[in-house]
Amino acid sequence: MNMPLFKMFIKKNWMILAGFTLFFLFELLACVFLMEMIDGMGFLGIGGGEEKVMSTGEKTIFYMSTVMPLLGYMFPMVFYIFIVYRIIFRPIDTTSLSPVLASGVKRKEYIATAAMFLIVSLVVMFSTIFVVCGISMLYLGSFDWGKWAFMCYSVALSTTAVAFISFFFASAFAPGNLSKLGMIGLPILFLVIFMAGVQAESEILMKLVPFGWKDLTDLAFGFPKLWWLWDIIFLSIISILITASIVLFKRKQLSI
C-alpha cells in the first residue's frame, strides 16, 4: 500500500463517505423511531401457529433484521459504485492515471491502495452505523448488543464482497462496456433479485445472490446456522477478487 496515495484518496473522497454515511444513518434512525408505531399496529408478531411472545430486545433485533439488510445493501452500494468509478474507472478512462504512475507509483501499489481505501471506507461507514444506531435503539429499551454487532458485521461483509465484484470489473476491464456492466449492473441485479425474493418470501431467489446467503431474520432467537462457513466464503471471495484485480490490472494495456 502507498500511504501518500491513500491520504490522497481520503482527501478527495472523505466528504462523499461522510455524506453517504449520514444519509444511510438518517434512514436507519427513522426506522428505529418508527418501530413503536409498527409494533403498535401488530406488524412485529411471528406468524405460523402459536404466536411467540417476544421481549422488547427480541422485537428490536427482529425488526432491525428486516430493515438493516435492505438498507445496508442499498445505500452502501451507491457509495462503492461511485467510489470505484472515481478511483478506478474514471482515471483509466480519462488517462488521468498517467501522472500518478509517472510519479513512481506502481500499478500494484495503486490497486492495492484503492482496495484498502474501499475496505476502510466501508468499515468506517458500518462502524458509525453500529455505534450511533445502537445508542439510538436504547430509546426502545434494552437489547442484545452482541447480536446487533453480528448483524452489522454480517451485512458489511456481504456488502464488501459485492463491492469487490464491482472493483474487479473496473480494474480488469475498464474502460469498456464489460467493465460498466460488472461495476454497476451486477450489484444492482443482485439487489433486485434479493428484493424480489424478500417480496415473494422466496428463499430460493434470495439464495441466488450473496445478499441472501446468510439469513439474519431469526437472529432475535439464535445465530444463523453455519454462519462461520458463510463468513469464510465471503472472506475468500474478497481475497480472490483483490488478488485477481491486482494481477489483471498489472497486465492490462493502459492508454497513458
Residue 237: which of 177, 131, 159 has the closest Cα?
Answer: 159
The per-residue pLDDT for range 110-119, each reduced to its tens digit, is 999 999 999 9
Residue type, position 96, single letter: S
Residue 230 CA, chain-centre distance (Å), reads 15
Q: How many Cα atoms sit within 13 Å of 173 on the Cβ side? A: 14
- Degrees to nearest 5, angle at CA 184 with 106 and 190: 120
- pLDDT of res. 142: 76
pLDDT tens column, 22-62? 999 999 999 888 877 776 665 555 444 334 566 777 788 88
Q: What is the DSSP letter of 210?
A: G
Nearest to 175 by CA among 96, 244, 253, 92: 92
Q: What is the pLDDT of residue 53?
A: 63
Written as one letter, the residue type at 49 is G
The predicted pLDDT at position 114 comes to 96
List the grid coordinates of 238.
474478497
pLDDT at 133: 92
Crossing angle (nearest 10°) for helices 107-137 and 3-40: 30
Mean pLDDT, range 215-220, rounded to an integer: 79
Spatial separation of the C-alpha atoms in residues 78 and 75, rounded to whole Å: 5
* Angstrom distance (rounded) from CA 63 to CA 122: 23
By the 10 Å C-beta count (0-12 exposed, 13-18 middle, 19+ buried), 195 is classed as middle
Mean pLDDT, rounded, for 220-235? 86
